[in-house]
Amino acid sequence: MKTTIGFIGLGHMGINMAKNLIASGYHLQVYNRTLSKIDELGAGNVTRCLSPAEAAANVPFLITMVSDDEVLRESAVGDGGILKTLQPNAVHISMSTISPDTSEELAKLHEQAGSRYLASPVFGRPEAAAARKLWICVSGDEQTKNDVRPILDLLGQAVIDFGPSVGGANVVKIAGNFMIMASMEMMAEAFTLAEKNGLSRTQVSEFFGSTLFNAPIFQNYGKLIAGKQYESVGFQSKLGYKDARLAFKLSQTSEMPMPIANAVHGRLLTAVAKGWGERDWVEGIGRGVSEDAGI
């Protein structure tokens, strides 16, 4: 019989990761704010829990994949939080996109409680999570990284070790999301410039995506931005804005100005202010550039 793992957070990403762990033979103790969501995992090898604490009880590993710092902090230190039940030496594998400050704070609390904390944020869309193609960034204690490695290997195509600093992997994740949203804004500006000059947005997008910028970000988002395909909501503007805030805050705590982070923060803040927070961030950014251009 395989190990039991605690699992908290069945959002677009978490649901796919949880399914993969079950498919690989793990038994999961699952908590999710909307409990009914747990049914999607099927009946076998799943224990429904009513609180984070319940999910964290008596397991060697607990995975959290939640929406932001506040939810994670509440899941950890709240009334029914995991620190209440996590057994000695158990590892909290923290895979959400959060601030390195929160990782450091939680790492200390785990240490005091005798358990362990590991920042392990991931890159990849829900499809990548389903296909075990995530890139997983880790940082922190060497032994802990080794201990969780078999689990992470089941979830992604590569585990990249960013050294001993607790929050290092979170910094990389925030930097990466910043680069993604900056790429989207950059494309929206370039394609709208093309459009304003009578060219085809799509042709320009395809040209760059197949030559100098032939990387997934530019190909996949480029197609959506060029085509103004805003219907499908894969990642909400308000979540993109949350990540822009994380980048901005990190530029403050790191004491370094980031002009482009500033620009994309402004774009996503405007999207939220205009009421597009629930729309995909492709719309939040792309439509924002278009409206400012009078289109």
Catalytic residue numbers, as ranges: 173
Q: Does 187 bind a copy of itself (CB under 8 A)?
A: yes
**199: how many CB neighbours lie within 10 A of its CB?**
13
CB of 51 to a copy of itself, least distance (A): 27
Q: Does 185 bind a copy of itself (CB under 8 A)?
A: yes
Decide: helix, strand or coil at residue 241.
Answer: helix
CB 79 within 8 A of CB 50: no
Decide: helix, strand or coil at residue 93.
Answer: strand
Which member of 69, 105, 189, 280 binds a copy of itself (CB under 8 A)?
189
Nearer to a copy of itself, 56 or 246 (CB): 246
Decide: helix, strand or coil at residue 280.
Answer: strand
Pairing state of beta strands 122-123 and 134-138? antiparallel
Q: Count H helices, E strands: the chain?
A: 13, 9
Q: What is the rounded distance in angstroms from the CA atom of residue 126 to the CA atom of residue 248?
A: 25
The partner residues of 117 in beta bridges, in order of sequence, read: 92
Quick one: which segment of 53-61, 63-71, 106-114, 208-216 binds a copy of itself (CB under 8 A)?
A: 208-216
Contacts of a copy of itself in 121-180 (CB under 8 A):
123, 135, 137, 158, 160, 162-163, 165, 167-168, 171-172, 174-176, 178-180
Q: What is the rounded distance in angstroms from the CA atom of residue 251 to the CA atom of residue 138?
A: 21
**36: how many CB neighbours lie within 10 A of its CB?**
9
CB of 249 to a copy of itself, least distance (A): 10
Contacts of a copy of itself in 67-96 (CB under 8 A):
none
Contacts of a copy of itself in 92-131 (CB under 8 A):
100, 123
CB of 100 to a copy of itself, least distance (A): 7
Quick one: which segment of 22-30, 76-84, 114-122, 273-281 binds a copy of itself (CB under 8 A)?
A: 273-281
Decide: helix, strand or coil at residue 105.
Answer: helix
CB of 179 to a copy of itself, least distance (A): 6
**248, amino acid identity:** F
Binding-site size for a copy of itself (CB under 8 A) equals 76
Q: Does 235 bind a copy of itself (CB under 8 A)?
A: no
Q: Does 234 bind a copy of itself (CB under 8 A)?
A: no
Which member of 36, 44, 146, 256 binds a copy of itself (CB under 8 A)?
256
Dihedral of the alpha carbons of 150, 156, 109, 79, in degrees to the nearest 10: -110
Which member of 8, 10, 155, 194 binds a copy of itself (CB under 8 A)?
194
The partner residues of 53 in beta bridges, in order of sequence, read: none
Pairing state of beta strands 91-94 and 61-64? parallel
CB of 23 to a copy of itself, least distance (A): 24
Which member of 97, 192, 236, 237 binds a copy of itself (CB under 8 A)?
192
Nearer to a copy of itself, 61 or 191 (CB): 191
